[in-house]
Structure 1
Amino acid sequence: MTAADIRPGRVDAVCVVHAIRDSGSRRVPVTAIDKRPVSGPVHVGPHGLTGDRQCDTEHHGGRFKAVYVYGEDEAQRWVSELGRDLPAGWFGENLRLSGIPTTDAVIGERWAVGTGGLVLEVTEPRTPCGTFGTWAAEPRWVKRFTERGDTGAYLKVVAEGPVAAGDPIEVVSVPAHGVTVRDMFTGRDPDRLAVLLEQQQDLSPTLVEKVRRRLAVRQVQGAM
C-alpha cells in the first residue's frame, strides 16, 4: 500500500487530560487516562500536546509515545458491543480520527496534520494495562481489548505544529516493509518483523526489544 492508496483522514477531536484519577494500581496510584476534547488549536511538541499529562511515564509519553490516536471506526465497534457511548478521549487518546487507519497504519508511516506544519510518525501499538481495565469498568476488559487487537497507535513528532478538530490528515510516506501496528501487537509473521528492524530507522526502543524477544523465541522453537 502506498500513500496514494489512502484517502485523507480527519481529526475529529483533540483531547488532553481532564482530571487526575485513582488508577487502582499501587505502582502508579494516579492516572491521566481521563482525557476529553478541547476547543481551538493545541500545540504539539516533541513530548506531546500542550496541556496534556502522563502519570505513568515508564509506559506512557516520551518521544516515541508523544501522541496516542484512536480511530472512530474502531471506537464504534466497541460502542456496538458494549451498548454505551464512548466519546472522544475515552480510550485515553489525544486524537480521535476518522477516515484513516490507526491500528492498521504502517510503522514509520508519516502524516501531515492540518496546515500548520505538524508531521507525525507512527511508532508502535498501545499495550492495555490494569489501569485501562479499571477505567473501562467492563468485565475482562484488558483481555477483550487484547483479543480484538484494535489498539490504536502511538506517534512521535517529526515536526511541531498545531492541531485542531476538523484538521485534515494526509499520509505523506509509507515504508516499504509494510509492518503494521496490528502486526506488531499480535506478533504474527516474525519474518516481517525482522525486516522491520532491518529497514526502519529510529525505532522505539521498547518496540525493538519486543521484536528481538519474539525472534529469539522463534529461533528456540525452530531448534527444538
Structure 2
Amino acid sequence: MLTVKQRELLQYIHERVSETGVSPSFDEMREALELKSKSGVHRLISALEERAFIRRLPNRARALEVLRMPDQPGGASAATEAKAPELKPVRIPANDTIEIPLHGRIAAGTPIEALQGTEQFAVPAALLGPGEHYALEVSGDSMVDEGILDGDFALIRKVDQAREGEIVVALIDGEEATLKTFRREGKMVRLDPANGAYSPQRYEENRVRIQGRLAGLIRRY
C-alpha cells in the first residue's frame, strides 16, 4: 500500500510531467507536499522507485518517469504492486536522432554573453517532447544540486514565459544569458542557483526575458 504522502507525490509528478513534459524539481515537490526538507522528498521517491511506480532516467536533470498509477484512488493492492510494471513500447527507434541548433555555452554560474552560434547538435528523438528546441553547453557549477554539471548539454524548449520553480534560460538586459531556477519576489525576478556557494540574482522584471525552459540534459563521458 502507498502512504498518503507517496500517493500525493506520485499524483503531483504525473500531473506536472503530463502538463509540461518536465518533472518537478525537489524544491517544488517539497513545497507541494509541505515537507520541511528535500531529504523527505528523496525518501518518498526512493519508496516509489522500489515499488516500481516511477523510475529515474539517467544523464538527465530532474528526470523522473511515471511507470504506472495506483489502480484505485485509495492505492494499489499488494498483489498489484508486486507485479512488474507494464511499460508502453517506445515507438521511436533508439538510433533516431534530430538535429537542433547549438547556441554555444551558457553560464550556470554567472551571466555570459547572449546566445550565439549556428552549429547543429544531434539529439536522440526520444529525449525531445513537443515544441521547438535548441541546445546549450553548460559552463559553471552553480546548478550542480539539480544534476546539471559543467560540460553538460542542456536541451531547451523555446518558451517566452516561465512558471515558478522552472529552470530557465533568462536573458538579462538583452545582452547576457544564464541558466537558473525562476522565482518571483514581489515585483522582482529572482534567478536561483542550485549550489550554496552562489547567491540568487535579482532583477527588475523588465530586465529579464525568458528564452526557454530546461527539457532535458545530455552528458558525454
Query: Which TM-score applies when normalising by structure 2?
Result: 0.26
More strand by share: 2
Report 1 or 2 for greater relative contact order, CA contacts < 8 Å, sequence distance ≥ 6.
1
Query: Which TM-score applies when normalising by structure 1?
Result: 0.26
More helix by share: 1
